[in-house]
Chains A and B, each alone.
Chain A
Amino acid sequence: MSRNPRIEPIADSPNTMTHPNGSDSSRLRADNVRLAYDDRTIIDSLSLSIPDGKVTVIVGPNACGKSTLLRALARLLRPTAGHVILDGEQIHRLPTKEVARRLGLLPQTPIAPEGILVVDLVARGRTPHQKLFQQWSESDERAVHAALDATSSMDLADRPVDELSGGQRQRVWIAMTLAQETDLLLLDEPTTFLDIAHQIDVLDLCEELNREQQRTVVLVLHDLNLACRYADHIVAMRDGVIVAAGPPAEVITVANVRDVFGLDCVVIDDPVSHTPLVVPIGSRHSAPHLVPLPPTPARGTHTADV
């Protein structure tokens, strides 16, 4: 039941989207947006295209405007200048319900009402498809079913959300967003507060949603190494500006990490995924005595085989 009949594959040509802001055919993009809360400008004149059918990860230090950008992309924040374009139309010209049928967002800290059951929470994801006298149709039921199935949380369906572990809860929130049946999924720090096993769990789920159901996924993540593993496209931000965007291997470099995070590091090859692996240096270990790039195992003497 995990196949989703409504979602048709969008990424017909896999290698057109490699260039960072290359194509304007993206379903979702930002055009010279300025984003501000009250009169505090967070982002000034930023442009960005979200490649269709890919996993895009936005990284950057705290308070660099990642979440603000995500909120603007989902129509929650109106740009004071520029536009966010969804399917060729200015997103603020579209009715909010219409946007919610095309684009799902999971905010950083959603609130579960006290005592709500998992299945009822996931069912709330159907809101944009419902009307006053169309409160629970067959397709609602099917979508909730598929969402619980895709997140392997069917067996949690009858439990109160308060009783779940952090990882389970995150899966349930993602299920709610999936029940919206949108091709575009925006998740704001879905791995915060999770232990490493559950982080991987959630990110595997995101990858699955992308690979198997061809959904376009946008994530805000803090862990650079996980970002490199799961992203097709990385956007690195600092102070409201995109410093670099592209495939992980091009974006996550020693120079960019220093530039974005002010952190000295060594970038080596992730032995499992062969994506960049950032090893911070810190003040105690000032001298990196291994050859950083290219990622050949320079310290072969240290290997553990006997």
Chain B
Amino acid sequence: MSETPADDGSKKDARRKVGLFVTCLVDIMRPTIGFAAVKLLEDAGCRVVVPSQTCCGQPAYNSGDRRTAKDLATQAIDAFEDCDYVVAPSGSCGGMLAAHYPDLFAGEPDMAAKAERFAEKTHELVSFLTDVLHVDKVNARYDGVVGYHDSCAGLRELGVKQQPRRLLASVEGLELVELPEAETCCGFGGLFATKYGELSNAIVSRKAADIGSARVDTVLAGDLGCLLNMAGKLQREGSPIKARHVAEVLAGMGDLPAIGEPSKERRA
């Protein structure tokens, strides 16, 4: 191998080289999701690299700023050029990379072809584990009753639905309950949540009520944006229900403070 493997104890040869697109929200708000993703990928026999990266460009793309979106797309495509796969712990960013990048360069054949190749090797984390690496169980324990929220882009742009449920079924101690409105948007929508705060609040209030009606102590999802929104609403309403990223639970990191909870040392 020409490159130095990740210095983390996993030393298999000829492992697939996976570039982790950590996503800007995970990078800034909750790095533990990134480390959970690294653990899951390495456990499944991948070599993980984290190329220098910023944002996939979705905020610009969805705000109509196509030029900035293209610049950031080009930057990401170049940064992951020599990775076998690009994996993101997010359906939303994954959808941007895999479904929207090719659209972004429609009419520019060279870049479009590049974006298409990039899109083909890009996956959302959990569906990559199940559909590409054929992982069918994880070694993790979580004592709780959990509901899984299907984030919109993961569900509708990438077809992520059964994959997380399948892996969660192998987590010891975990009971999975279907939320009545699991497929209904939480009202996050990126900048929408602040541009239309009142409307976003109306939608997430309904989501919080749906979660609250379901006898769960934890809500999981594959997207930190949705999770920040749902956790923020549940906490503002004084609900004890915790929010966690599915990768953390699958990686056996379910004992971390939940999203928006104080860290343990400080609480003690």
A binds B: no
Chain B interface (Cβ within 8 Å of chain A)?
none
Chain A interface (Cβ within 8 Å of chain B)?
none
